[in-house]
Amino acid sequence: MKKTLILLSFLSLAAFPAFAQNSEIGFLAGGAKAMKTAAGGKSDFQHGFEEISYGLLIDQSTVLKIKVGRMDAKTAFVSRDATGKQVVDIVDPKGEVDYADVAVEYRFSEPFGTTGLFAGTGLYRQSGSNGQSGGNRQESDYGFVGGVNGLFPVTRSVGIIAEGSYHWVHFYSPKPRYGAVSVGLRFAF
């Protein structure tokens, strides 16, 4: 127990320089849509996209971000039959996809603020229900995210963010893809 406390206190002291860097917290809300699913094609654009992010300035123009969010989108669950062929079990047009991503963002200085390109990877969980039997189903896997955003500063520490992102998830083949458009606030400290 004593060694564990010593190790935890040493690690917390080692982490203090990271807190001395410029950090930011972002809150986004908007809409999402399934771009491609096993249920066939695209879905309608749905409201219900929320994201919170924590960013740490690594370099003058590079930010490491941890993003946690959820989106309402069409979800499909796939299984294999006796011959090994994919069969769509459940399609929920009002499903939900939760995620936690780590992304690197590169920012470009603009006259109005900054624009940024970001890419990263993370964990995704989709959930949906079967309307007939009322049962809920979930599955988790890895995925990738990429996108573009614009930051419009209001004050030195508060800004407005507009972001478009593309999520590629490894649930089944063909891989489902989701697009999201959102707007929100960024607080720097």
Q: Is residue 16 part of a domain?
A: no
Separation CA 138–CA 132 (nearest Å):
17
Query: Do the domain assignments include residue 81?
Result: yes
Residue 50 belongs to a domain with what CATH number? 2.40.160.20
91 within a domain of the structure (yes/no): yes
Domain boundaries, position 104 = 21-188
Backbone angles phi, psi at 10, to 5 degrees: -65, -45
Q: Is residue 47 part of a domain?
A: yes
DSSP of 3-72: HHHHHHHHHHHHHHHHHHS-EEEEEEEEEEEEEE-TTSS----EEEEEEEEEEEE-SSSEEEEEEEEEEE
Structure tokens at 78: 């796939």
Q: What is the pLDDT of residues 13-41, one digit of tens each?
A: 555 555 556 899 999 999 998 887 776 66
Looking at the structure of the chain, the number of domains it has is 1
pTM recorded for the entire structure: 0.82
pLDDT digit string, tens, across residues 71-123: 988 888 888 888 878 888 788 888 899 999 999 999 999 999 999 999 999 99
Amino acid at 148: V
Place 52 in a pLDDT band, splitting at 50, 70 and 90.
very high
What confidence tier does 134 reach under pLDDT thresholds 50, 70, 90?
low
**How is residue 101 written in tokens?**
């991503």
Indicate whether 166 belongs to any domain. yes
Cross-strand bridge partners of residue 75: 92
Residue 63 resides in a domain: yes
Instruction: Pick the more confident residue, 12 or 97.
Output: 97
